[in-house]
A = this chain, B = another copy of it.
Amino acid sequence: MTDRTMAAPAERKRGEGVKLVYDILRDDIIDLVLPPGSPIDEIQLAERLSMSRTPIREALVRLASEGLVTTLPNRSTVVSNIDFLNLHTFFDAITLMYRVTTRLAAEFHVPADLDVIRARQAAFAGAVEAHDALAMIATNRDFHAAIAEAGRNPYYTGLFCRLLDEGRRILRLYYSSFEDRLPQRYVAEHEEMIAAIAARDVEGADRLAKAHADQIVQQIQQLIARDRRQTLAL
């Protein structure tokens, strides 16, 4: 559990309970504080958060709808596993979403959107500069989510954010310290995407987004391949 759990019993108004639990659990799942497959005990959680089980259950329903936890009747809720056997579906979907959201941002953004996107990029660049892999993973997600929001199609934004979060979980499996070497070229690629979006170059944005997605997919595949080779070497 995050430190936030200890702070949770602080003042909260009626009606804020479910969201508080949801936020805490969601962060913990994505940051692998709660690793895939781990059971979620309602009673323990209720004790730790000093609240009854009801809002916790409601938060779990919401998390289940987002695929972050898996529930079956009369059984413990568990943190959803990452489906490594079917990563191609994830790669396919996230590549498509990178493309359509970036296209739409080039087409529909307003000036304030660019401010947000640029602020997110600055945070991402800062994380890369600081060799902070965990912050990089989080700020990368936020950067692309801002692009999706600028594209103004809630269906795509919803799916894309879900996929980005799943990507965070996958990456978090492999980046577990502050010492990892982070690819600087992602910062440059983000800048190019921002320029294409600002210039309303829809096709350019699409092309850059696809190339960027391909890089990410390749990175994940290499991380997994490296992992598998270690296993076979045993």
Contact = CB atoms under 8 A, between A and B. Distances in A.
Interface stretch (A1-9, A41-49, A59-67, A139-147): A59-67
A152 interface: yes
- Interface residues of A, dominant DSSP: helix
Task: Give the 8 A-B residue pairs with the shortest CB-CB distance, closest first.
Answer: A15-B73, A65-B65, A93-B155, A89-B153, A61-B61, A15-B74, A58-B61, A159-B159
A163 B155 CA distance: 9
A96 interface: yes
A175 interface: no
Given A15-B73, A65-B66, A90 B155 contact: yes
Contacts of A62: 61-62, 64-65
A220 to B, nearest CB: 16
Q: How many copies does the complex hold?
A: 2
A92 interface: yes
A8 B74 CA distance: 21
Contact of A14 (B16, B58, B74): B74
A14 B73 CA distance: 8
Interface in A77-117: 89-90, 92-93, 96, 100
Interface in A7-52: 14-16, 18
A99 B15 CA distance: 41
Nearest to A104: B92
